[in-house]
Structure 1
Amino acid sequence: MTRRGKVFRGLVGVLVTVGALEALGRAHLTSEDNFPPASKVLSRAFELAGDHDFVFVQLKATLEAWGLGMLLAIVIAVPLGLLLGSVPIANTAARAIVEFLRPIPSVALIPLVGLILGAGLEMKVTLIVYAAMWPLLFNTLYGLRDVDPLAKETLRAFGFGPFAVLRRAVLPAAAPFIYTGVRLAAAIALILAVGTEVLSGFGEGLGNFIGNAAIALGGTKDVLAGTVWAGCLGLVVNVLLVAGERRLFRWHFREGRS
């Protein structure tokens, strides 16, 4: 299927979903305050785009936490993955602690991190880094396993040192896997940014806007409008990352098709 065909089908799916939600809202199966029609939710979402406080305070706070958390997660997880994947002793030593920490939900750490760091950017960034580093770490490890051992041995035979082998053979082969980890981590980081703001109940951000609307009288429309904005942010981030992936790793896609 062509890219234009995929976009068209995606738009049809969105329109069908919005139409179904509009019909359910207009059917008055429950109070409109509890389940407003999709048209009113979308109208409210467009209104928020012109709200200075919403855009430059709430959205800005969420995007700042997301961006800083992603940057730190990449800086920590990718080198750590390269170390664990290249040094078997380090991998064996760290395996137990990694497997212990990985299943712990980030949201379960909100009270502890809040007590230690307080409300604000530091708490959100810490939780985002904790959640986002796992897909980055494991995709880096998977990428290292995919490196052709013959390529590494050939470089060593020609006198290249460990760092040269890493730069010329390991990183190019592992890069598509690492980038996939970035895509997965970006979605998880956005979920954590918004979710932390909702559950913490204090500070600024899109999640804080949604949480305050949820306890306000007749705030369902704002809750849903904020959720629409969260979904749109996730969609934009993914589209940009996919476009970057296709541009940076064209050779990888050609190999996959062949």
Structure 2
Amino acid sequence: MLVFLLIGEVIGRIGLVDRSYLPPASSVLARAGGLLTDGGFLQDVAWTLKVWAVGLLIAVVIAVPVGLLLGSLPVVNSAVRVLIEFLRPIPAVALIPLVILMIADQAQIEQTLAAYAAMWPILINTVYAVGDVDPVPREMARSFGLGRAVILARVALPSVAPFVATGIRVASSIALIVTISTELTAGGGEHGIGIFILNASSDATHADVVFAAAGIAGLLGYLIDVTMRTIERRLFRWHYERLGRAS
């Protein structure tokens, strides 16, 4: 990262590229520091994070139960596999025009698309994790007369939980990307990091503001990933110890 910033500084200083297009890294960092103390920009950050969190929560609420169901019922999984593989590759941003026709509120548009994009890694991780549950404890529980629902809750779910957590961590980054991308592409809103970048990009002299806001968005993604990874390792320390990884 330091090398990357140094290269950007040198290119900007020697005039290899017009500063209005690629300002020096020092100017971008200074602008980023100013944005982090700007109440208006912080409100945009808070808006984006709120929408991101709601979208991710919706994805978890939908994907985890559906994944448990599909993973525990191979016949149902086979029946809907084609539909899942058809919908999963569709970019969430490509659905913006369709969602706008159905939903008028900016927050709900972003939440819907973020949930759609974040749902797939959680769902796929959950389905495959349920399929890989050790059959021995499952059969033992069945021999003691436990029902399917109890086996799923007491045997399958604890084994699946670390993989679900990994899916949620991956989905959290995807949800943030889609949230900001929707703000940039759909426009028409008043709040959000994407709206801030879109407004700043309308002025050719504000390239440093655009780069600074984009850098802060990347920093948010990094902090979210680190936070999710830390929570994941603390909650499932036993899982990583069994894999021989340091917690």
- Bucket of the pairwise TM-score, normalised by the shorter protein: over 0.9
Q: Which moved more, 1:141-150 or 1:155-164?
A: 155-164
In the other structure, the counterpart of 1:193 is 179
Q: Which amino acid aligns with 2:166?
A: T
1:15 and 1:102 map into 2 onto residues whose CA distance is 37
Query: Would the aligned equivalents of 1:146 and 1:173 in 2 still touch at CA under 8 Å?
Result: no
In the other structure, the counterpart of 1:27 is 14
2:2 and 2:17 map into 1 onto residues whose CA distance is 23
1:207 and 1:254 map into 2 onto residues whose CA distance is 40
> Which 4+ residue blocks in structure 1 deviate beyond 4 angstroms?
none
Q: 1:59 aligns with which of 45, 48, 61?
A: 45
Q: 1:45 aligns with which of 26, 32, 35?
A: 32
Q: 1:236 aligns with which of 223, 233, 243?
A: 223
Q: Which amino acid aligns with 2:63?
A: A
1:256 and 1:217 map into 2 onto residues whose CA distance is 52
1:16 and 1:92 map into 2 onto residues whose CA distance is 49
Q: Does 1:142 align with 2:128?
A: yes
1:172 and 1:257 map into 2 onto residues whose CA distance is 19
In the other structure, the counterpart of 1:11 is none
SS in 2 for 1:185: helix
1:94 and 1:40 map into 2 onto residues whose CA distance is 52
2:77 and 2:98 map into 1 onto residues whose CA distance is 28
2:160 and 2:105 map into 1 onto residues whose CA distance is 37
Q: Give 1:217 shift.
A: 2.8
1:255 and 1:60 map into 2 onto residues whose CA distance is 38
2:173 and 2:198 map into 1 onto residues whose CA distance is 20
SS in 2 for 1:36: coil
Q: Which amino acid aligns with 2:156?
A: V
Deviations 1:156-203 (A, max 9, x none): 112222222112210111111111100110000000010000011221
Q: Give 1:96 shift.
A: 2.0
Q: Which amino acid aligns with 1:50?
A: T
In the other structure, the counterpart of 2:202 is 215
In the other structure, the counterpart of 1:168 is 154
Give unmatched runs, 5+ long, in structure 2.
none
Q: Which moved more, 1:22-31 or 1:194-203?
A: 22-31
In the other structure, the counterpart of 2:165 is 179
1:130 and 1:183 map into 2 onto residues whose CA distance is 15
* Equivalences, count: 244
Give unmatched runs, 5+ long, in structure 1.
1-13
SS in 2 for 1:103: coil
Q: Does 1:83 align with 2:69?
A: yes
**Normalising by the residue count of structure 1, what TM-score does the alignment of the two structures yield?**
0.91
SS in 1 for 2:163: helix
Query: Would the aligned equivalents of 1:119 and 1:202 in 2 still touch at CA under 8 Å?
Result: no
**Cα RMSD between the aligned structures?**
1.2
Deviations 1:6-33 (A, max 9, x none): xxxxxxxx22222222112112112211
Q: Which amino acid aligns with 2:176?
A: L
1:168 and 1:116 map into 2 onto residues whose CA distance is 40
Q: Give 1:144 shift.
A: 0.7
Q: 1:99 aligns with which of 74, 85, 90?
A: 85
1:121 and 1:201 map into 2 onto residues whose CA distance is 12
1:115 and 1:218 map into 2 onto residues whose CA distance is 35
Q: Give 1:131 shift.
A: 0.4
Q: Does 1:252 align with 2:222?
A: no
1:218 and 1:94 map into 2 onto residues whose CA distance is 51
In the other structure, the counterpart of 2:98 is 112
SS in 2 for 1:55: helix
In the other structure, the counterpart of 1:227 is 214
Listed as ranges, the matches of 1:7-26 within 5 Å are: 14-26=1-13
1:29 and 1:45 map into 2 onto residues whose CA distance is 23
